[in-house]
């Protein structure tokens, strides 16, 4: 080996130290995945060289045959993986091998539970594939040189995974990266051609460039060739370019793990080749779980973009709308220029056509999953439902299709917190019902027991229960489904239309007229706290509720705006009372106006609490309640 210069010892980033500790202490039960991860990284390095060489052919340095080689030495107990891809400069080696350059790392470490099985399932979400080498190796060496740099600017990186690493400048004639794993005691099984061949076939058959192993030698030792003869052990054709009939489910699943750096299988996938006016191939996956940065709308996302099987971009986010940012996969186009850049992508009309088609493809895939595998769809909804709810606001063209994929809790018999679709709800509409009723709130327990539902229970009308923070915002964009408009049961003056008989309506009018005096007294007592006081048609058991004005913000939207520091428009609730309730009857008969005022405020505050709101003056409420309790006990 050539002389090392500029040698220095550097410490790992704190997060890497913690991660290495997990790796070294046998976190993975499936140790062979280290080879998959290192081959995936080598494949990415070759892809990047191909792309950069489009503009700078000199980077190929006369060697355009791109490949990955895996070899082993039983006596030295080493496994070596070499690629002739883009390679790394000294600065890049320090950055890529000494830190975890991925958003959400702190969240990742915070979520580590100490349970090895659970923790291992988290690691794959953070693109930490290189560090998996320490599962089987007690020392890892990396020899690398970036394409285009001089041979004397090679880099030697080495670490035992114990908190620091050494880095030095060395002579390296060939561009690319060579990783040498010094196997731990007990891991010698990997210094074996048959074992390595099987792992490569199992996990990396889909890689679209040749992966070579030395040919097995079966003759006399004296006849062994001085230089190893290499043979390709994978199919070496990009998986998405093969006909669907030639690709097994296992191969699709392994390819997903390659493009997503996830360790779990996907829930579903869709592989399609489009021919005609536009020509492109897409392979799209629905992940089985959500990444930590799912709700960071600015986080890197998108599909791997290839043009005529040449890698162009790792996270091309122009091909799917933001509400589908969880979709992983590749798109390979024949209609884009090879020198495409992000700026050109944003202006290319071909992209708009592809984006529209790919969006429909994903929604169709989700629709199929919901129909054919409802249990799997429940898993999808639990992980990605809140993100999909952004869809109706962002994608007007597909609003109805997205609405059909949404799921909500419901008051329907036996539903509990189980999710129901809008299609299910519409199929159960009562005779004469032409509206979809819903109620928003902070939690399932709160909305399930809300007084607003009393008349609906009495009449057996199903109500959707919306408890995600985003739901009120969603419903401002989702105004109808299947020709049926949505009605918030806590908003405005409830009108059940033909679900109320003429006799019911007449009786309501008569009661309202008979209670005009009580309405005026309550208005005077509650004063500026309310926009209006009226007799309620919603209540059967509770004495009073607070309704929201038709144009006012609900509690969820007010809280969202307040949390983001925005000014919340002033609005006052509508106080509705149940004229048949014993408390209201006693209130109506109360001659003392001061006592009437105290009782009215107690009822108002109780109605606010039942709606999930906080009291403006909790001390005054407690004081009035204590005063009442003293009177009752006297």
Instruction: Report pLDDT for 325.
Output: 92
Which residues share a beta bridge with 178?
Answer: 82, 143
Residues 326 and 217 grouped into a single domain: no
Residues 220 and 345 grouped into a single domain: no
Residue 389 belongs to some domain of the structure: no
Instruction: Report pLDDT for 627.
Output: 85
Q: Domain limits at 421?
A: 406-490
Domain boundary among 490, 511, 539: 490
Does 15 have pLDDT greater than 70? no
Domain tally for the chain? 4
Residues 177 and 290 grouped into a single domain: no
- Quickly state the pLDDT bin for 25 (edges 50, 70, 90): low
- Cα–Cα distances in angstroms (integers) from residue 173 to residues 48, 52, 178, in the given order: 20, 20, 12
Per mean pLDDT, which range of 63-72, 100-109, 206-215, 299-308 is the poorest?
100-109
- Residues ≥6 apart with Cβ < 8 Å to 629: none
Domain boundary among 346, 367, 382: 382
Residue in 542, 546, 506, 514 with CA at minimum distance from that of residue 529: 546
Does 197 have pLDDT greater than 70? yes
Instruction: Report pLDDT for 481.
Output: 93
Residues 245 and 229 grouped into a single domain: no
E strands along 86-153, which residues? 137-145
Long-range contacts of 71-77 (CB under 8 A, 24+ apart): 71/213, 71/214, 71/228, 72/190, 72/191, 72/192, 72/193, 72/196, 73/191, 74/188, 74/191, 74/192, 76/182, 77/182, 77/183, 77/188, 77/191
Residue 391 belongs to some domain of the structure: no
Residue 151 belongs to some domain of the structure: yes
Q: 555-592 pLDDT, tens per residue?
A: 767 766 666 677 767 778 889 898 889 998 888 888 88
Domain containing residue 458: CATH number? 3.40.50.11260
Does 343 have pLDDT greater than 70? no
Does 340 have pLDDT greater than 50? yes
pTM here is: 0.74
Residues 532 and 469 grouped into a single domain: no
Q: 300 or 389, which is more confident?
A: 389
- Quickly state the pLDDT bin for 322 (edges 50, 70, 90): very high
Instruction: Report pLDDT for 110.
Output: 57
Sheet holding 328-333, edge to edge: 268-274, 280-286, 328-333, 303-307, 310-316
- Integer Cα distance of 225 and 504 in angstroms: 98
Residues 601 and 463 grouped into a single domain: no
Instruction: Report pLDDT for 492.
Output: 74
- Quickly state the pLDDT bin for 227 (edges 50, 70, 90): confident
Residues 472 and 586 grouped into a single domain: no
* 8: number of Cβ within 10 Å: 11
* 435: number of Cβ within 10 Å: 17
Residues 214 and 297 grouped into a single domain: no
């Amino acid at each position: 080996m050539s002389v090392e210069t500029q040698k220095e010892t550097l410490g790992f980033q704190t997060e890497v130290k913690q991660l290495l500790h997990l790796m070294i202490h046998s976190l993975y039960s499936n140790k062979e995945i280290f080879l998959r991860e290192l081959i995936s990284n080598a494949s990415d390095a070759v892809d990047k060289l191909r792309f950069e060489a489009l503009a700078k052919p000199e980077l190929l340095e006369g060697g355009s045959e791109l490949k990955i080689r895996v070899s082993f030495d039983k006596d030295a107990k080493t496994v070596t993986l070499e690629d002739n891809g883009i390679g790394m400069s000294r600065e890049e080696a320090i950055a890529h091998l000494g830190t975890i350059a991925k958003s959400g790392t702190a969240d990742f470490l915070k979520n580590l539970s100490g349970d090895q099985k659970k923790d291992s399932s988290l690691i794959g979400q953070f693109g930490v594939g290189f560090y998996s080498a320490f599962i089987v190796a007690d020392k890892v060496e990396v020899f690398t040189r970036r394409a285009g740099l001089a041979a004397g600017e090679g880099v030697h990186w080495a670490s035992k995974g114990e908190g620091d690493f050494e880095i030095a400048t060395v002579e390296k004639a060939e561009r690319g990266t060579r990783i040498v794993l010094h196997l731990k005691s007990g891991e010698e099984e990997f210094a074996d051609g048959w074992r390595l061949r099987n792992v490569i076939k199992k996990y990396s058959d889909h890689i679209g460039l040749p992966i070579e192993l030395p040919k097995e030698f079966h003759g006399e030792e004296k006849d062994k060739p001085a230089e190893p003869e290499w043979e390709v052990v994978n199919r070496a054709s990009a998986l998405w370019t093969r006909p669907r009939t030639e690709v097994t489910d296992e191969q699709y699943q392994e390819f997903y793990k390659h493009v997503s750096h996830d360790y779990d299988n996907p829930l579903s996938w869709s592989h399609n080749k489009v021919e005609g006016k536009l020509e492109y191939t897409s392979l799209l996956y629905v992940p089985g779980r959500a990444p930590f940065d799912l709700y960071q709308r600015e986080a890197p996302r998108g599909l791997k973009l290839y043009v005529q099987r040449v890698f162009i971009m790792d996270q091309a986010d122009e091909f799917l709308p933001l509400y589908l940012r969880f979709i992983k996969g590749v798109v390979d186009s024949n209609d884009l220029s090879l020198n495409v850049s992000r700026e050109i992508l944003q202006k290319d009309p071909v992209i708009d056509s592809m984006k529209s088609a790919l969006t429909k493809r994903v929604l169709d895939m989700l629709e199929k999953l919901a129909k054919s595998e409802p249990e799997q769809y429940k898993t999808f909804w639990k992980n990605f439902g809140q993100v999909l709810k952004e869809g109706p606001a962002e994608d007007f063209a597909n609003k109805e299709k997205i609405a059909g994929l949404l799921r909500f809790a419901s008051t329907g018999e036996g539903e509990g917190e189980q999710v129901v679709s809008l299609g299910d709800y519409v199929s159960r509409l009562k005779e004469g019902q032409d509206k979809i009723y819903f109620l928003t709130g902070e939690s399932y327990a709160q909305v399930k027991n809300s007084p607003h539902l009393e008349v609906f229970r009495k009449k057996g009308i199903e109500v959707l229960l919306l408890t995600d923070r985003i739901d009120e915002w969603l419903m401002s964009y989702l105004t109808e489904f299947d020709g049926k408009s949505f009605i918030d049961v806590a908003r405005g003056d409830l009108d059940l239309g033909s679900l109320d008989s003429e006799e019911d309506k007449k009786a309501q009018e008569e009661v309202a007229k008979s209670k005009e005096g009580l309405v005026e007294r309550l208005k005077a007592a509650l004063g500026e706290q309310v926009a209006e006081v009226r007799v309620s048609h919603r209540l059967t058991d509770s004495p009073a509720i607070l309704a929201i004005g038709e144009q006012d913000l609900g509690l969820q939207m007010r809280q969202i705006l307040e949390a983001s520091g925005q000014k919340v428009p002033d609005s006052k609730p509508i106080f509705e009372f149940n004229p048949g309730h014993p408390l209201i009857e006693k209130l109506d008969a109360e001659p003392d106006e001061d006592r009437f005022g105290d009782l009215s405020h107690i009822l108002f505050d109780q109605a606010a609490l039942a709606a999930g709101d906080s009291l403006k003056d909790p001390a005054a409420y407690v004081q009035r309640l204590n005063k009442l309790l003293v009177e009752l006990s006297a």
